A and B are shown apart, each in its own frame.
Chain A
Amino acid sequence: MADRAVVVGSGAGASVVCLELARAGWDVVVLERGPAYSRHPDKPSHRFSNDELKANRYFEMPDPLTEPRTFRASASDKDVAGEVNQLAAVVGGGTVHWDAKVPRFWDIDFKKKSLLGDYPDSDVCDWPFSYDDIAPFYKRVEHMLGVQGPSELPAAPTLKHAPGKRGYEMPPGPQQFSSMTIAAGCTAVGMHPYAFPMAANSKKHDGRPACNDCGQCSGYGCPINARIGALAVLDEACETGRVKIRAQTFAHRVKFDGRKAKRVEWIGPHGQRGSDRADLVVLAASAIETARLAHLSELPDPHDRIGRDMMFHNFVDGFGIFMERRMHAYRGRSTTQCCEDLCDPDYPGMREAAQAAGLPYVRGGIMELGGSQDPIAEANIYRFLLETIHMGDPTNQATPPFGKRFKSLMRSSPLRDRLAGVSMVGEDLPYATNRVDLASVKDYRGVPVARLTYSPGQHEQVAVAFCASQITELMKAAGATVSAAVPESLGNMTAIPHGAHIMGGMRMGTDPKTSVTGKHGMVHHLDNVLVADGSVFPTSGAQNPTLTIMATALKNVTHLLHS
């Protein structure tokens, strides 16, 4: 009888593990708590459309009314239940509606402590491998996903810190006017923008059509399957005939005996309970859910590390508003250009900003250039701002915070059609106090939900303040009439993170006192539990994480199969 793996989750990390295990002759059972919406892209089960309201109604997401999480800014606060940085929970995971941007992490991301030095009051450390170690796996995943990207990348800073040939299958597709406009601003201030590598077809590839630039990428499932993310890999795994996907099946406990995990217990689509025997258990439910499952399973944790060092990217939103023209960022794949200069702790002025705050260094992150939003999101921002303006101005009570004022904003569209934004994916340092454990609140199945305790540290505050000013400048240089950058973590330190980049909690390391998984992603105190999602990240990097999640999972499962 073949060895049998039970994989919890069906997203980015799970997909590559399934493929490699199945190819090596394993039988694989995948437990996915959500439904299968686009398992077979050409069949009627395909459910995605250009529909902002459907996305807002949690179509592919866990609904906070049935599957909430709880949040508190610090351990001394009471936690509140609601929507806390959820990712899509369907077959394919977050990649069914991701923006599919796949930059690589840098050399310094894997060796932060060795290359950049100690960081007081944080858990900054090295990864158990280097950029050179993971580079071949990056290239393989780029091939697997089918990435469009430029034939030449900037020599600095990109190739200087992330060298080597890429596995891009396709040239970049059409470049958004809004993205190119902001990219020109980057160039004008001495930065180095380039066409954002993206796992979406720019020509027919893998039996799927070229993207037709409908503009609804991030947050939407692709209606034409030009961008299917992990499903490209999962489909290939299923073609081996060795992979069985149980959709709408929620894994709530890993049963183990001594150092061996034996079974995974689950609750099925109509509340029925069952379990699957496992020779290998793979936890790939995404970082918060994997930590939740580890806690629910009471996995051995003698040093109290499970769920600690949770990280989210430290976003800065830049608003470049063009009063003289419309930027039509709704046409084309969202943010077709990116820029990595602010990932560099040696970017001009960044060392000085850190020094002034008494910090060894700070970093921003990759910038997504020229983004905007769709009308329902836009309208809700106006609603919120008009209300806030109204409350803050007692002299203006005669004009209601709605009506013609609202319509005037929707028509002139400063925050949609005239907006070419910058979204910076800033590094978020690991702190042991930022953690996931279990809440007293339960989901609709009666299972305790994850409780997140999180607040940004001093690094994050100094980094975003510095980067916000750089972003304001580059948008001015791009010709924006109005340029304002809003660090998300400033002004509202207790805000709930929502950036959909979720890392840490089951961090890899060589010392069980400071990590949960070993240098190949196996849980320290068990022999047969592999963790294969963003939870294993020891540090957050300063780029979109999915490519690194997949490359790390591929590297670790490859090691497992050859050891």
Chain B
Amino acid sequence: MAPGRRSVLIAGAMLPVVRYVPASALMPGRDEVAAATPYRFLTAHQAATIVEATARLVPGPKDDPTEIGHPGAREAGVVHFIDRLLSAFAEDPPAIFAGAPWSNRHTDGPDHLKKFVPLVERQAKAWHKRIKQLRKQVADAVIALDKGAVADGYKDFVTAPTTEQDKLLTDLADVREVLFSLTIDAMYSVPEYGGNHKLAGWHEIGWPGDIQPAGYTKKQVESDDGPDPVSPADLGSVQELIDALPILTRSAQGLRRG
């Protein structure tokens, strides 16, 4: 039996109700998440922990008053993206590779991206393995966050104050790496994967996202959009990044190339 098939069955056995709710149907608030269990893989506690942790990594208006008008991980439904990925093989085809050639964001037609691409053998083997690893990493991350909170005198991570949450996410580099990279994928990918709810991730950064079959006009490609200086509020972060640029070597991704 393939390892992933077994994992799905085990996960199913753990959940009282195995019910798939498309992420696009959900827009949970802070309390709703803990109350309902619209998750295929995550337990309510795991989900709540991920919601709070990822909201520290990419905060929205509920997490930081200075972010009013700027949605974050909570608003983008990051936890639903993660849950869907961790149970990707509960769907057929598995929810790994969104379809083609385009969504309905620039046509009146159907959203072809919703229809996931069936996996070939090499992909199925790799993704069973990867999801098994990810499930363990995510479960371990939740345990580590709770353990850290308890050691500092709190009941668990979810109920600890945000200063404590930030401290734990700063100290626990492995936890941060797992959750932050999943959060990034969820915030900025096409929403068919279950994150980027209401295109919150894209709107926030002014990214039009998938543009086919419309494309861009010659004018849009060639024109100078005019002055748009970095806002004074962001200058500090940008300057610090610029100072660190020489650190970028092959260990980070380079520019795209042909």
User: Chain A residues in contact with chain B, CB under 8 A?
Assistant: 34-35, 46-54, 56-59, 62-63, 65-67, 98-101, 174-177, 180, 211-215, 217-219, 221, 223-224, 248, 269-270, 315, 317, 319, 321, 323-326, 328, 330-332, 334-335, 368, 371-377, 379-390, 392, 397, 400-415, 417-418, 421, 423, 425, 444, 482, 484, 486, 488-492, 495-500, 544
Chain A residues touching B, majority SS:
loop
With a cutoff of 8 Å between Cβ atoms, the chain B residues found around residue A214 in the complex are: 211-212, 215-216
Q: What interface size band does chain B fall in?
A: 35 or more
Cβ–Cβ contact B121 & A248, under 8 A: yes
Cβ–Cβ contact A385 & B123, under 8 A: no
Cβ–Cβ contact B249 & A406, under 8 A: no
Closest 3 pairs (CB-CB, A-B): A99-B258, A212-B215, A50-B210
Cβ–Cβ contact B207 & A330, under 8 A: yes
Task: Give the shortest distance, in Å, between A479 (CB) and chain B (any CB).
Answer: 11
The closest CB in chain B to the CB of A496 belongs to B250
Cβ–Cβ contact B258 & A63, under 8 A: no
Cβ–Cβ contact A495 & B250, under 8 A: yes
Cβ–Cβ contact A408 & B237, under 8 A: yes
Q: In this complex, which of A217, A321, A406, A490 has the most chain B Cβ atoms within 10 angstroms of its Cβ?
A: A406
Known contacts A375-B188, A383-B180; is A212 also within 8 Å of B204 by CB? no
Known contacts A325-B227, A371-B255; is A403 also within 8 Å of B241 by CB? no
Cβ–Cβ contact B220 & A331, under 8 A: yes
Q: A56 to B182: give the CA distance in the assembly, Å.
A: 12
Cβ–Cβ contact A47 & B117, under 8 A: yes
C-beta contact mask, B30-69 vs A, less than 8 Å → 1, else 0? 0000000000000000000000000011110000101100
Task: Give the shortest distance, in Å, between A267 (CB) and chain B (any CB).
Answer: 10
With a cutoff of 8 Å between Cβ atoms, the chain A residues found around residue B244 in the complex are: 385, 388-389, 392
Cβ–Cβ contact B193 & A495, under 8 A: no
Task: Give the shortest distance, in Å, between B84 (CB) and chain A (any CB).
Answer: 12
Cβ–Cβ contact A54 & B241, under 8 A: no
Q: A407 to B67: give the CA distance in the assembly, Å.
A: 9
Cβ–Cβ contact B234 & A218, under 8 A: no
Task: Give the shortest distance, in Å, between A399 (CB) and chain B (any CB).
Answer: 9
Cβ–Cβ contact A270 & B121, under 8 A: yes
B161 proximal to A (CB < 8 A): no
Q: A35 to B121: give the CA distance in the assembly, Å.
A: 10
Known contacts A224-B101, A323-B238, A404-B64; is A381 also within 8 Å of B185 by CB? no
Q: A382 to B126: give the CA distance in the assembly, Å.
A: 28
Q: A503 to B104: give the CA distance in the assembly, Å.
A: 41
Known contacts A334-B258, A385-B241, A406-B58; is A176 also within 8 Å of B211 by CB? no
Q: List B residues 87-109 near A (Cβ within 8 Å).
A: 96-102
Q: A421 to B253: give the CA distance in the assembly, Å.
A: 13
User: Chain B residues in contact with chain A, CB under 8 A?
Assistant: 56-59, 64, 66-67, 70, 72, 96-102, 112-113, 117, 120-123, 125-127, 129-130, 166-167, 169-170, 173, 176, 180-181, 184-185, 187-190, 193, 201-202, 204-218, 220-231, 233-234, 237-238, 240-242, 244-258
With a cutoff of 8 Å between Cβ atoms, the chain B residues found around residue A248 in the complex are: 120-122
Q: A221 to B221: give the CA distance in the assembly, Å.
A: 20
With a cutoff of 8 Å between Cβ atoms, the chain A residues found around residue B211 in the complex are: 50, 214-215
With a cutoff of 8 Å between Cβ atoms, the chain A residues found around residue B102 in the complex are: 49-50, 223
Cβ–Cβ contact B215 & A177, under 8 A: no
Task: Give the shortest distance, in Å, between B98 (CB) and chain A (any CB).
Answer: 6
With a cutoff of 8 Å between Cβ atoms, the chain A residues found around residue B248 in the complex are: 317, 319, 381, 385, 486
The closest CB in chain B to the CB of A50 belongs to B210
With a cutoff of 8 Å between Cβ atoms, the chain A residues found around residue B66 in the complex are: 404
Cβ–Cβ contact A223 & B213, under 8 A: yes
Q: A489 to B125: give the CA distance in the assembly, Å.
A: 34
* Total contacts A-B at CB 8 Å: 317
Cβ–Cβ contact A53 & B185, under 8 A: yes
Q: A293 to B210: give the CA distance in the assembly, Å.
A: 39
Cβ–Cβ contact A50 & B125, under 8 A: no
With a cutoff of 8 Å between Cβ atoms, the chain B residues found around residue A418 in the complex are: 230
Known contacts A53-B185, A177-B223; is A414 also within 8 Å of B97 by CB? no
Task: Give the shortest distance, in Å, between B121 (CB) and chain A (any CB).
Answer: 6
Q: A213 to B188: give the CA distance in the assembly, Å.
A: 21
The closest CB in chain A to the CB of B96 belongs to A57
With a cutoff of 8 Å between Cβ atoms, the chain B residues found around residue A59 in the complex are: 97, 117, 123
| CB-defined A-B contacts under 8 Å, sample of 14 | A49-B113, A50-B209, A174-B221, A224-B212, A323-B229, A368-B257, A376-B188, A380-B184, A380-B253, A385-B244, A401-B176, A407-B58, A408-B238, A412-B231
With a cutoff of 8 Å between Cβ atoms, the chain B residues found around residue A62 in the complex are: 122
Cβ–Cβ contact A407 & B70, under 8 A: yes
With a cutoff of 8 Å between Cβ atoms, the chain B residues found around residue A377 in the complex are: 253, 256
Cβ–Cβ contact A411 & B246, under 8 A: no
Q: A484 to B100: give the CA distance in the assembly, Å.
A: 37
Q: A294 to B72: give the CA distance in the assembly, Å.
A: 52
Cβ–Cβ contact A53 & B189, under 8 A: yes
**When the two chains form the complex, which single residue of A219, A321, A331 contacts B216, counting CB atoms closer than 8 Å?**
A331
Q: A390 to B187: give the CA distance in the assembly, Å.
A: 23
Cβ–Cβ contact B249 & A177, under 8 A: no
Cβ–Cβ contact B100 & A49, under 8 A: yes
**When the two chains form the complex, which single residue of A56, A491, A499 contacts B257, counting CB atoms closer than 8 Å?**
A499
Task: Give the shortest distance, in Å, between A421 (CB) and chain B (any CB).
Answer: 5
Cβ–Cβ contact B72 & A407, under 8 A: yes
Known contacts A223-B213, A376-B189, A385-B244; is A371 also within 8 Å of B97 by CB? no
Q: A122 to B244: give the CA distance in the assembly, Å.
A: 35
With a cutoff of 8 Å between Cβ atoms, the chain B residues found around residue A100 in the complex are: 258
Q: A407 to B206: give the CA distance in the assembly, Å.
A: 12
**When the two chains form the complex, which single residue of A330, A401, A402 contacts B58, counting CB atoms closer than 8 Å?**
A402
Q: In this complex, which of A62, A321, A406, A412 has the most chain B Cβ atoms within 10 angstroms of its Cβ?
A: A412
The closest CB in chain A to the CB of B243 belongs to A389
Cβ–Cβ contact A414 & B242, under 8 A: yes
Cβ–Cβ contact B253 & A381, under 8 A: yes
The closest CB in chain B to the CB of A491 belongs to B249
Q: A484 to B252: give the CA distance in the assembly, Å.
A: 16
Known contacts A223-B100, A248-B120, A331-B216; is A403 also within 8 Å of B166 by CB? yes
